[in-house]
Amino acid sequence: MICFVCTAAHRYTVTKNLPRFAGVPDFKVWSYDRLFRARFLPRATWIFTDFDRLSFWELELAARIHRNLVATEQRVLNDPATVAQRFSLLRRLHRTGFNRFNVWSVEAEEWPDRYPVFLRTQSAHRGALTDLIPDRASLEREIAAALVKGRPRRELMIVEYCAEPMRAGLFRKLATYRVGPAMIANLCVHQSKWIAKDGERGIAGQELYDDEHRIIAENRHGEELRPAFEAGGIEFGRADFGLVDGRPQVYEINTNPTIAMIRKHPFPVRIAASRLFEEKFTAALAAIDTPAGGPPIKMKGTVLREQRGHDRWMTRSRWVV
């Protein structure tokens, strides 16, 4: 049994497609709300995800549960107390020389020493908030506009532009998963804009899709990316990256990525690439699976016990904020 833990509103990342993967091990998806209320948990492989959508208190509760599970020798991926989230990961990757681009915090009143840059948030997955910004005066205006729209200052981060088109008018975003010890190349995104996020119909062709299939078959870049996952303390997630001068540049590592699949496409090789990814991903999950059964694990600790009591009181009182 494998238990994924995520926020209740974002369980679709796992439940939408993973049940359709042939031979996938038995799994369940737990919301953090349900997890925090549980006095006992089943013996399983536990995968904690979705940290950027949790409050500091929820992160601490999740970390205490993580420690209960580890103490009973369960296999647990991603420690909520130590996983690096977007800003700290990117700053760390720049400091160690893995990424050539840097990031800066608006809240800390840090200013870039190189341009162009763009704004995005430290949490969530909405992508870039702005076009490329050429100088400090323009950046100050964009920050002011973001605040007027209600973007929290502490969430705003400045990201140095670092992308390279494959050819004129075509950018490629690559992706690689880590599932425990396994590294698995995923499908690519092709787009005419530097913000390659959702893909663009008709922009790629047979040559690029043939190469995409080879990327997955060869697990190209997999071992190159392992140090980025290690730097972030991330044992399960998907790295989104591009190639600049032939070197991977990691834009983020998403611990709760949508596990995608393709069943219809004008190019059959793309469907074949999707199925190949599914086979490799399923095999990686099978390798970390834990047989079901055995006595449940009691969640110990004063903090967890007090939180459950607080939750019961809130339920009985029907308190509405």
pLDDT digits (tens, 9 = 90+) for 156-204: 999 999 999 999 999 999 999 999 999 999 999 999 999 888 888 889 9
Measured between alpha carbons, how far is 311 from 307 in angstroms, rounded to an integer? 6
Burial code (b: 16+ CB inside 10 Å, e: under 16) for 173-186 equals: bbbbbbbeebbbbb
What are the extents of the domains in the chain?
2-83+291-317, 102-160, 171-288
- CATH numeric code, 171-288: 3.30.470
Three-state secondary structure call for residue 129:
coil
pLDDT value, residue 72: 94
**Encoded amino acid at 295, one letter:** P
Pick out the chain residues at pLDDT < 70.
Answer: 302-303, 305-306, 308-321
Three-state secondary structure call for residue 93:
helix
The beta strands (E) that lie in the chain are given as 2-6, 27-31, 40-41, 45-48, 76-77, 103-105, 117-121, 156-160, 171-179, 182-185, 189-191, 236-244, 247-254, 297-298
pLDDT value, residue 129: 96
Q: Which two tokens stand for residue 282?
A: 């399923």
Please count the CA atoms within 13 angstroms of the CA of 27 that sit on its side-chain side.
24
pLDDT value, residue 321: 47
The pTM of this model reads: 0.93
pLDDT value, residue 305: 67
